[in-house]
A and B are shown apart, each in its own frame.
Chain A
Amino acid sequence: MPIDLSSPGGATLALLPELVLTFWALVVLMYVAWHHRDGHDMRTAGGLSIVGYIFAAAATAWLAWRGARPEGLSFMIALDGFRFASDALLLWIAAAVAILSVRWLIRQGILAPEYYPMLMLATVGMMLLAGAADLITLFLGLEVMSISVYVLAGFDRTRRASAEAALKYFLIGAFASGFLLYGIALTYGATGQFNFDLIGAQFAATPPTLMAKLGMGLILVGFAFKIAAVPFHAWAPDVYEGAPTPITAFMASGVKAAAFLALVRVLAEVFPALVDLWRPVIFGLAAITILVGNLTALSQTSMKRMLAYSAIAHAGYLLLAVWAHSDEGTAAVLIYLLAYSVTIVAAFGILASIERAGARTVRLTDLEGLFSVRPFASIGLSICMLSLLGFPGTFGFIGKWYLLSAALRAGQTTLPVIAMVGSAISIGYYLPVVLAMTLKPARTRQAHQTIRFPRPARIAVGICVFAILLLGVWPNTVLNFATQTAVQLRQSELPIGPR
């Protein structure tokens, strides 16, 4: 179904998933305006927001099923399999986070149902960011996402750590947006175009000027802040630790996924002609991110902080596939983001249930002896740790395997070695979690009495853990889907030239 994106009707049709979600966020906001008193209102708002994600996913599926593609130039928003896959990934993450939040927020005494419209608007921003075909849409999506997530990070506003997280995230985020915007301005100055395909065609035809190269560099810096790559990572641990736990899961999986999907698209469509220039940058970022992330995670005692540093290390692994700059690399990014988000959502879901009301975080010592009291939760958390580690038989292993093979096929041998060394280091902080739960006795008899694992969260986490195991041994469907999708990203840059 070809859609003319330059006509108002066509643009509306192409933006259907985002529009449905925005409309539904406004509906939930109206519900919240009248009902914001007690836990029942919180639960209803959460349930309504999940309905919104289902509607948006249905709209995405409809576009994908009708084979929507742009007629002529891809104007403002992309219409290809990569965007639909990105939307599906981001929507499921948001829905899972909403399910995890429902009882958790009530238990923590955060009775403000605005949380759910905010989460939906952040998701709209993420979808626009990942589906942008124009530098303006890219920036708009980034800002919608970021501003909503700043608010969500500080949502537990009576707790100092949460307010601190919001302020730090806001200041650093605004700084990063400045870099990105300056890069966009310089790129526009060098080419006179905002559209990804047109800029790409121009760079392919004429050698890029110094201004264009500077623009690309600043755009890369902006993205490096958002994906928390070393040396632009300093904000991540404090923000991840201070934010409400479901929001930490959202930032570690959703925000990072959206930024990576956008980065892959920008490098594939805007700057493919400058590949020799950005590859060394990605190489350096990947190497230092993997090493610093893993080494710093070793010395953490707080689980949220440890997972924050491990999230930094995982961003480093993902940069391997970005370096590859190939169909395999794009497919590997999709697979890895799915594997990582499934694992992170499950891990934070379990941690959120263990977290005491009002506590800043869960410490490693809080997990001691969990197996004897809560065997299923501790087995689930152990599977998540093994998946993050990349243990064979889990989905994390498949993801890491594809990252490494994509980098190797693109002719890179140093980075995979560094990634393997990083993985070896990460045994040193993933396995102690498993050992603390199974081998050590509980500190006191009353330990683990405060654990509340409500049924919605239990079902969501159960599905995630089951998916980790199932896709770990039977990944073919997902692999084929990712490979077909990745080819479409390349195809979308082919119809270039005056039309």
Chain B
Amino acid sequence: MLQPYLPILLLLIFVVANAVLIIGASTLLSNYRPTAVKRSAYESGMPVLGDARERFSVKFYLVAMLFIVFDIETVFMIPWAVAFAQLKSMAGVLLLEMLTFVVILGVGYVYIWKRGALQWD
């Protein structure tokens, strides 16, 4: 039953062995002479200013979320458009289904617009 999965097991073993080999070899064989510059987060970049765990305005999350919602819609539409040519016999139904989807999305768009989610201030 599990015979077809043998290559996956072999791959797993190889990956782990490879990682152990590379890290182990570089630890054992290399010289380690740290300086303050070498140990900084970006060795050749800007000096670090403060902590990365700061508080952001919640508006950024809202914008990001709205972007994802309206971006994912494309993920639905492209396969639909590609398959449309092959399913000509059901063209009317397919068109109706996508129109339903777009109308629901449109209602959501009008809602967030009227509710002021797209305004920064």
A interface residues with partner B (beta carbon < 8 Å): 8, 26, 29-30, 32-34, 36
Contacts and interface: CB of A to CB of B under 8 A. Distances in A.
A34 B93 contact: no
Instruction: Name the interface size band of chain B.
Output: 10 to 19
B93 A30 contact: no
A33 B93 contact: no
Given A8-B90, A29-B107, 5 more contacts: A29-B108, A30-B107, A33-B111, A34-B114, A36-B115
A30 B111 contact: yes
Contacts of A34: 114
B114 A33 contact: yes
Contacts of B97: 8
A36 B112 CA distance: 12
Nearest to B106: A26
Contact of A33 (B90, B104, B110): B110
A282 to B, nearest CB: 29
A94 B97 CA distance: 28
Contacts of B104: 26
Interface in B54-105: 90, 93, 97, 104
Interface string B7-43: 0000000000000000000000000000000000000
A276 B104 CA distance: 45
Contacts of B110: 30, 33
A29 B108 CA distance: 8
A29 B110 CA distance: 10
B5 to A, nearest CB: 12
B97 to A, nearest CB: 8
A26 B103 CA distance: 10
A493 to B, nearest CB: 29
17 contacts: A8-B90, A8-B97, A26-B104, A26-B107, A29-B107, A29-B108, A29-B111, A30-B107, A30-B110, A30-B111, A32-B111, A33-B110, A33-B111, A33-B114, A33-B115, A34-B114, A36-B115
A26 B110 CA distance: 11
A8 B95 CA distance: 12
Contacts of A29: 107-108, 111
A33 B110 CA distance: 8
Contacts of B93: 8
A34 B114 CA distance: 7
A34 B97 CA distance: 27
B65 to A, nearest CB: 13
Contacts of B107: 26, 29-30
Contacts of A26: 104, 107
Contacts of B114: 33-34
A10 B108 CA distance: 28
B96 to A, nearest CB: 8
Contacts of A33: 110-111, 113-115
Nearest to B107: A26
A33 B90 CA distance: 35
Contacts of A32: 111
Contacts of B113: 33
Nearest to A9: B93
Contacts of A36: 115
A8 B93 CA distance: 7
Nearest to A19: B100
Counting from the closest, the 3 A-B pairs by CB-CB distance are: A33-B114, A33-B111, A8-B93
